[in-house]
Chains A and B, each alone.
Chain A
Amino acid sequence: MQDLKKSLLTAAWFMFLTFPIMVIRVNTVEDTIEWRWHNLALVGISAFILSYVWRYFMVRRERGGGKPQTDAAPPTPAWVSIVIEDKRILYPLLAAFTGFVASFPFLFSMYQTNIMISAMVFVMLGLGLNIVVGLAGLLDLGFVAFYAVGAYSYALLNEHFGLGFWVVLPLSAILGTFVGVLLGFPVLRLRGDYLAIVTLGFGEIIRLVLENWGAFTHGPSGIANIPRPGFLWIEFGLKDGITFMYYVMIALVLFTILVVTRLKYSRIGRAWLALREDEIACQAMGIDKTKTKLMAFALGATWASMAGVVFAAKTSFVNPASFTFMESAIILSIVVLGGMGSTLGVICGAMILILLPEHLRAFAEYRMIIFGATMVLFMVFRPQGLIRDRRRKHTLKKPDDTPVSGDAGKVVDAHG
């Protein structure tokens, strides 16, 4: 009864709240007013239902929050551990997956392959941002700036000097790192939330410069006719070119995953995690704060820049409109929803967030509103994201089996 009353009140409140914007639409040209009363009913009913859902999850969250927050990973579901541990199931599954990925361009249309390529571009971007946000805990809202640097470096170097994809890819990586250090150096002394705003500002500055510096960047009209990558001396036609790009992208994504995973468990990776958890304690442990942050920032920029080159090659056209804050927000939501710090999570996040709207075209206009809502809901109910980041743990066993008192038999590595 209490719940019913609360939900009715919530519904009434939201009907009041959304009344002018949802119900009334003023046509300023013809000076008429459109009343959309059905929206009011819609808001009322959904607010009523959602308030029950919200309360249910709130209660669940509170119950879960009662127990102390431990870093220990929750027990893996039974079927997952069976699949992972039983080699007879795991290997055929892996083989089937690899086969599917490898034959994708032949099984599906060029259009599908193209979508897959853009999803993989976002995987790369997500993994790059994951270093900055997920591992080092630096909220970078201007990540798209580095993506733009990569895309424009390919477009411009190709236009003026005729450099090909394979030459520009490593060049842009270096350029991205350089720009990352350049932008990172002054701002990384700032605390988390200031950093977010400054990077946002930088992202906008770069876009505005691209838009206004017409002599250099061709302004808002952008640069067209950017060639796709060839292989050695072979130039591909449209269809083969896209198929080839698909494989290039797979190689790049695998390379990214390899590097990111290696980095995560390296000395610098542990330093990032420490920095994320507590800056001051981390400094007290003798970690060079600025250098570690700069490293994360620059590495993130490197991947974004490389992804930018691929993007320019894929669409064969760049203009400043592709590099707005919304793009940064999408990459950020990939990282946040996938699971901050978790490589697998970011890959899943990118696949879901990019492929889903592509395949649900009817849904496309609701894409951003759903992104926004899920970001809030995930932060409230599942801050660890879809796939929780697991920390590698080392368990040391005593060489001899003499029983020891206390926990000495099971020491969890401090950085774990």
Chain B
Amino acid sequence: MEYFLELFLGGLTRGSIYALIALGYTMVYGIIKLINFAHGEIYMIGAFTALIISGVLAQFGLPGWSILLMTLPIAVIYSSAYGFTIEKIAYRPLRGAPRLSPLISAIGMSIFLQNYVLLAQTADFLPFPALLPELAFMEGFSGIMNSSELFIVLTAAAVMAGLTAYIKYTRMGKAMRATSQNQRMAMLVGVNVDNVISMTFVIGSALAAVGGVLIASHVGQINFYIGFIAGIKAFTAAVLGGIGSVPGAMLGGLVLGWTESFATGYVSSDYEDVFAFALLVLILIFRPSGILGKEEGHKV
């Protein structure tokens, strides 16, 4: 039972991170119908920025929690800036182009960013400082969950609640929903679609950065390639829940996290990534619209 609980909570932790990244995919897809391949790289850049900033701050001998409080916003700002810039360079000029073009451009961007970090930093795995503080009362639960996992789950939940409220109640959130329903109509009623799209990239990237910093601090090491696998898995989560749907991405992330956790715990840990991909393939074959997605008709 304890083993089950450990796997369950481990899956919840993983799942929260997947959900955070998946939200970026799903929001962008909902608005411009593009799989933003470079999203995983934004997550990686978030983690790298955090590593660098915390390394600089640690030189001043600041306590751990204050480093976290300064590092996280900076990583978020930088990731958002990258997301914003990528959209301007690689996707905006391709509006109205055939569907394959932005997708290839996104893959190019992803390769570019990976190698940019590889060349500017290093190809090796770097140890990531444990920024998340240890809580004394969590020691009693050490068999099933540690404090960094608790932090991850709580932060993810708070961020997602914030996002839901933002989309539901703010002006920009409304504009986003309008744009995702019908871009041209939104333009006609006075929504500045360009701004909405930029904002979507900024928010998605910010969420990815939060996910990146949390998981890097939890796992304890990063390299330039972490965005690739995380990106595919988060995309799986987005598709699983129904791409374009915000609650779907959260649910999909959790389902994927549990699937992986239980499959590696009870079946075999060699094939950890295979389970995620297999789940993706199965979902796409049997329910392409995902758990919460809506079936869409296609017109010529």
Write out the residue numbers on chain B whose beta carbons fall within 8 Å of the beta carbon of A18: 120
- Complex formed: what's the CA distance from A201 to B240 in Å? 14
Q: Are A278 and B111 in contact (CB under 8 A)?
A: no
Q: Are B56 and A198 in contact (CB under 8 A)?
A: no
With CB as the reference atom, state the residue of chain A lying closest to B273: A208
Known: A39-B120, A196-B103, A198-B280. A278 touches B300 (CB 8 A): yes
Q: Are A204 and B120 in contact (CB under 8 A)?
A: no
* Contact-size category for A: 35 or more
Q: Are B111 and A372 in contact (CB under 8 A)?
A: yes
Q: Of B45, B236, B299, which one neighbours A21 at CB under 8 angstroms?
A: B45
Q: Are B105 and A194 in contact (CB under 8 A)?
A: no
Q: Are A187 and B284 in contact (CB under 8 A)?
A: yes
- Complex formed: what's the CA distance from A391 to B292 in Å? 43
Q: Are B108 and A371 in contact (CB under 8 A)?
A: yes
Contact with A along B86-97 (1 / 0, CB 8 A): 000110011001
Known: A139-B103, A205-B278, A383-B101. A20 touches B52 (CB 8 A): yes
- Complex formed: what's the CA distance from A380 to B273 in Å? 34
Give chain A nearest CB distance to B180 CB in angstroms. Answer: 16
Which of these binds chain A: B77-85, B136-144, B194-202?
B77-85
Q: Are B300 and A376 in contact (CB under 8 A)?
A: no
With CB as the reference atom, state the residue of chain A lying closest to B111: A372
Which of these binds chain B: A87-95, A116-124, A343-351, A362-370?
A362-370
Which of these binds chain B: A25-33, A74-82, A157-165, A258-266?
A25-33
- Complex formed: what's the CA distance from A325 to B227 in Å? 13
Known: A16-B81, A20-B78, A379-B94. A201 touches B232 (CB 8 A): yes
Asked if A13 is at the interface of the complex by the 8 Å CB criterion, the answer is yes
- Complex formed: what's the CA distance from A301 to B42 in Å? 33
Q: Are B277 and A201 in contact (CB under 8 A)?
A: yes
Q: Are B35 and A197 in contact (CB under 8 A)?
A: yes
Asked if B112 is at the interface of the complex by the 8 Å CB criterion, the answer is yes
The B interface, classified by DSSP as helix, strand, loop or mixed, is helix
Q: Of A21, A202, A279, A325, which one neighbours B120 at CB under 8 angstroms?
A: A21
Q: Are B111 and A209 in contact (CB under 8 A)?
A: no
- Complex formed: what's the CA distance from A31 to B79 in Å? 25
Q: Are B100 and A137 in contact (CB under 8 A)?
A: yes
Give chain B nearest CB distance to A39 CB in angstroms. Answer: 7
Q: Are A192 and B56 in contact (CB under 8 A)?
A: no
- Among the interface residues A137, A279, A329, A368, which one has the most CB atoms of the partner chain B within 10 A? A368
Give chain A nearest CB distance to B53 CB in angstroms. Answer: 6
Q: Are B285 and A20 in contact (CB under 8 A)?
A: no
- Complex formed: what's the CA distance from A260 to B18 in Å? 42
Write out the residue numbers on chain A whose beta carbons fall within 8 Å of the beta carbon of B53: 20
Write out the residue numbers on chain B whose beta carbons fall within 8 Å of the beta carbon of A58: 93
Q: Which of B95-115 contact A (CB under 8 A)?
A: 97-105, 107-115
Q: Are A204 and B273 in contact (CB under 8 A)?
A: yes
Contact with B along A176-215 (1 / 0, CB 8 A): 0000000000110111111011101110110011001000
Asked if B43 is at the interface of the complex by the 8 Å CB criterion, the answer is no
- Complex formed: what's the CA distance from A22 to B127 in Å? 19
- Complex formed: what's the CA distance from A130 to B126 in Å? 39
With CB as the reference atom, state the residue of chain B lying closest to A193: B35
Q: Are B232 and A329 in contact (CB under 8 A)?
A: no
Q: Are B105 and A26 in contact (CB under 8 A)?
A: no
Q: Are A380 and B35 in contact (CB under 8 A)?
A: no
With CB as the reference atom, state the residue of chain A lying closest to B123: A365
Q: Are B59 and A33 in contact (CB under 8 A)?
A: yes
Q: Are B109 and A372 in contact (CB under 8 A)?
A: yes
Asked if A102 is at the interface of the complex by the 8 Å CB criterion, the answer is no
Asked if B49 is at the interface of the complex by the 8 Å CB criterion, the answer is yes
Asked if B235 is at the interface of the complex by the 8 Å CB criterion, the answer is yes
Asked if B228 is at the interface of the complex by the 8 Å CB criterion, the answer is yes
Q: Are A194 and B108 in contact (CB under 8 A)?
A: no
Q: Of B58, B82, B236, B285, which one neighbours A187 at CB under 8 angstroms?
A: B285
- Among the interface residues A21, A204, A333, which one has the most CB atoms of the partner chain B within 10 A? A21
Q: Of B235, B274, B285, which one neighbours A208 at CB under 8 angstroms?
A: B274
- Complex formed: what's the CA distance from A120 to B48 in Å? 39
Give chain B nearest CB distance to A342 CB in angstroms. Answer: 15
Write out the residue numbers on chain B whose beta carbons fall within 8 Å of the beta carbon of A256: none
Asked if A169 is at the interface of the complex by the 8 Å CB criterion, the answer is no
- Complex formed: what's the CA distance from A189 to B283 in Å? 13
Asked if A168 is at the interface of the complex by the 8 Å CB criterion, the answer is no
Contact with B along A41-76 (1 / 0, CB 8 A): 000000000000000001001000000000000000
Give chain A nearest CB distance to B80 CB in angstroms. Answer: 11
Asked if B295 is at the interface of the complex by the 8 Å CB criterion, the answer is no
Q: Of B56, B97, B100, B127, which one neighbours A24 at CB under 8 angstroms?
A: B56
- Complex formed: what's the CA distance from A174 to B160 in Å? 50
Q: Which of B235-265 contact A (CB under 8 A)?
A: 235-236, 239
Asked if A374 is at the interface of the complex by the 8 Å CB criterion, the answer is yes
- Complex formed: what's the CA distance from A209 to B277 in Å? 12
Q: Are A380 and B90 in contact (CB under 8 A)?
A: yes
Write out the residue numbers on chain A whose beta carbons fall within 8 Å of the beta carbon of B85: 13, 17
Write out the residue numbers on chain B whose beta carbons fall within 8 Å of the beta carbon of A374: 108
Write out the residue numbers on chain A whose beta carbons fall within 8 Å of the beta carbon of B98: 383
Write out the residue numbers on chain A whose beta carbons fall within 8 Å of the beta carbon of B105: 375-376, 379-380
- Complex formed: what's the CA distance from A202 to B51 in Å? 33
- Among the interface residues A194, A280, A366, which one has the most CB atoms of the partner chain B within 10 A? A194
Q: Are B110 and A372 in contact (CB under 8 A)?
A: yes
Closest 7 CB pairs of A and B: A375-B108, A372-B112, A26-B55, A372-B111, A201-B277, A369-B115, A379-B105
A-B contact pairs, 9 of them (CB 8 A): A17-B81, A20-B78, A33-B56, A187-B281, A190-B284, A197-B236, A369-B119, A375-B104, A383-B101
